[in-house]
Structure 1
Amino acid sequence: MVKTQDVDVHQAFNDGSTNKYIEKYKMFCYVFGKHIDKKPQDDIAKSLYQADMVLTPGMFMSLALVTAGLASGIVFLLSVLLFTKSSSPLVYISVLTFLTFGLTVSGFPFMLYNKVSNKNMNIEQELPFTLGYMTILASSGSSPMDVIRKVAIEDYGDVSVEFGKVMYRVDVLGEDGVSAMNHLIRNTSSESLRAICIDLANAMQSGGGLRTYLEMKSRELMDMRRKMQQEFVDSLGVYGEGYLSGVVMSVVLVVLMIVVTSALGIDLGPFTAKQMFQFFVYFMLPFINIVFLILLWMKYSRSTL
């Protein structure tokens, strides 16, 4: 298990690649979250470790709650200004406020899950090429530890990042190679990488058979990559069909509903048919398309296909 104490809070605060204002915001949120870290939160800590997010569980949870509170407060004020004179102001204000809070809080676990999923996808794509490179290194007589070290300094995406964690534990923390590999085996999010690390750890202990194993595994994963390419194309087709049948057809049906209700003189509540049409065309339709594009971006932004 990854313990909370393994995460350096000061490292999270002093990440030079992050905007200083974001870091100050993290520090502000952590004032409320530091009490959470007094008790071990192993599941959250492990998920953050797998997502390569340098945060403590307390900082992550406080970021979610404080951000949700601020977003809800902004929506509450805007709702008061917009819906005070409506027929049911309390309904609009309360629904929008609580909906904003719930969506913001749930967005943080979703973001964490998405980062882990994208990382696993990247590992799956890079593994065949990584194993090919490792096969060449093993053929030249490199030991398993030397192979891992060279992969860690190369650019093989998240595979290099994961192997870099092994070298950190060996070179900085002073652990032996087998113990460092076992730590990665327990905590990596990729099942494919876990299986390979188990075999590498066995090769470290036995001292043989690495080249033959890597050649066989490289061919196997290359075949899997070709299947994944086909699945990638199929999934894009599913998203395209979903957009046509879900978004486009919904647009047509809503427009027809507004036109028909207007022609028949049906009451649409506090809004006229013109107001409903303008709200749908200028707000709902762009919003739906933006959400759909965000989903596509989150799904495929890190895909190497």
Structure 2
Amino acid sequence: MTNVYQVFAYNLFGKYYERRRVEFFGLRHSLLRNRMDTSYDVYMASALLSSILSAVGASFFISLILVVMGVPEIKASRIMLPLWFEPLVQYKSMIVGPFLVLLFTALVFICVYKVFQIYPSIMSGDRKRRIDTMLPYAVNYMSAMSGAGVLPVDLFRSLANNDIYGEVSVECRYLVRDLEVLGQDLVTAMKNLATTTPSPTLQEFLQGAITVVTSGGQLEPYFQIKTEQYIAENRQNQKEFLETLGLLGETYVTAFVAGPLFLVVVISIMSIMGNAQMVFLYIIIYALIPIGSIMYVVLISMMTPEA
């Protein structure tokens, strides 16, 4: 769905991206695999406008910080700056201030623009993981329905209406859309879904089903074979995940529990003796441990299957 912001962005920059369809082929495919109901030119126009607004906001924010706190102190030295720069230090407000504003503005613009470009690819990768997680159970459901004599078209329609199978149901809705709205036959609809789905496993499953249908075979035995295969693979994946989780747990205890605790004790003793600075202790307590813990939480959350 296109909102007012996207329409405004498209009116400003849409024509620029319309002429560059070939350059953004990968992005267009990622948007399609991610099932984002937005054309790439509208999406990139919104990305460009958001990048500009973010850069303007960053410029204002950095300028406000420089006005309130002043320009950082700069001294010419062999390590930081050449000695010939020393006469220019008195003009630091006119040189360093605008330079910092332009630098952070450019960095914010580039970062926001790149995030918009890679976001569909990241989300399609997340959809791939969720599809692969639910596919064994969805195929098992299809096998049971097929054994009850349900036609393949009705089978996919029933699966599309069953939200318990998550992203697999979403994929089937696009297949049903091709059947009911676009008037395509089942084989063509499955080919379209196999081409656009982010999951290679689902793509392989659909290609096998297409082969069975076009050769005049029965889908029920094929579904039963795939059910056994996917359940066995799912058990193996869960076993590997538990082993990986145990390894990550041991690594976390070593790197972010025992290690920092040892360093805290050593630095505290050395600071009492006057041979260490407390800044390292602050870095460990307020930066290393919290950031490391958050990184582990995000990593485990990304690795954990949903079912």
Whether TM exceeds 0.5 here: the answer is yes
Q: CA deviation at 1:159?
A: 1.2
Counterpart position of 1:37:
18
- Shift in CA distance, 92/285, structure 1 to aligned 2, threshold 3 Å: farther
What letter is aligned with 2:208?
D
- Gap change, CA 1:114 and 1:217, over 3 Å in 2: same
Name the SS for the 1:164 alignment partner: helix
Distance 1:286 1:260, change over 3 A: same
The one of 150, 153, 157 aligned to 1:149: 157
Q: TM-score, length-normalised on structure 2?
A: 0.73
2:78 paired residue number: none
CA distance in structure 2 between the partners assigned to 1:55 and 1:225 by the alignment: 34
CA-to-aligned-CA distance 1:187-216 (integer Å, 9 cap, x gap): 211111111111222233233231111111
Aligned with 1:183 (options 192, 201, 204): 192
Matched residue, 2:108: 100
Deviation at 1:280, TM superposition (A): 8.0
- Separation in structure 1 between the aligned mates of residue 208 and residue 302 of structure 2, nearest angstrom: 32
- C-alpha separation in 1, matches of 2:283 and 2:70: 18
Q: In the alignment, is the contact (CA less than 8 A) between 2:160 and 2:176 conserved in 1?
A: yes
Report the Cα offset of residue 260 of structure 1.
7.4
Alpha-carbon deviations, 1:66-97, whole Å to 9, x = none? 32332233233222224633125446545544
| Distance in 2 (alpha carbons) for counterparts of 1:212 and 1:287 | 51
What is residue 20 of structure 1 aligned with on the other side?
none
8 Å CA contact retained: 1:118, 1:299: no
- Structure 2: any 5+ residue segments left out of the alignment? 75-95
Return closer, same or farther for 1:243/1:64 CA change in 2, 3 Å cut-off. farther
- Residue matched to 1:64: 47
Task: Give distance in 1, aligned partners of 2:157 and 2:232.
Answer: 26
C-alpha RMSD over aligned residues: 3.5
Task: Give a deviation string over 1:19-63, Cα, whole Å, max 9, x none.
Answer: xxxxx3333332334211344344322211111111111222233
Structure 1's 168 and 68: CA in aligned 2 closer, same or farther, altered over 3 A? same
Name the SS of the counterpart of 2:2 in structure 1. Answer: helix
Find the aligned partners of 1:280 and 1:95 in 2 and give their Cα distance.
29
5+ unaligned residues in a row in structure 1: which ranges? 1-10, 14-23, 266-272
Distance 2:127 2:199 in 1: 8
After the TM superposition, which residues 283-294 of structure 1 pair with which residues of structure 2 at under 5 Å, given as runs? 293-294=297-298
Distance 1:97 1:291, change over 3 A: farther
2:137 is the counterpart of 1:137 = no
Alignment pair present for 1:120 and 2:128: yes
Given candidates 99, 119, 127, the residue that maps to 1:111 is 119
Q: Distance in 2 between matches of 1:52 and 1:117?
A: 12
Return the alpha-carbon distance in structure 2 between the equivalents of residues 297 and 29 of structure 1: 34
- Bigger mean CA deviation after superposition, 52-61 or 73-82: 73-82
The answer (yes or no) to whether the contact 1:144–1:204 under 8 Å persists in 2 is: no
**For the pair shown, which has the larger CA radius of gyration, 1 or 2?**
2
Relative to structure 1, is the Cα distance of residues 287 and 104 closer, same or farther in structure 2, using a 3 angstrom cutoff? Answer: farther
1:163 alignment partner in structure 2: 172
Equivalent in the alignment of 2:71 = 85
- For normalisation by structure 1, the TM-score amounts to 0.74
Counterpart CA distance in 1 for 2:25 and 2:175 is: 20
Q: How many residue pairs are counted as aligned between the two chains?
A: 276
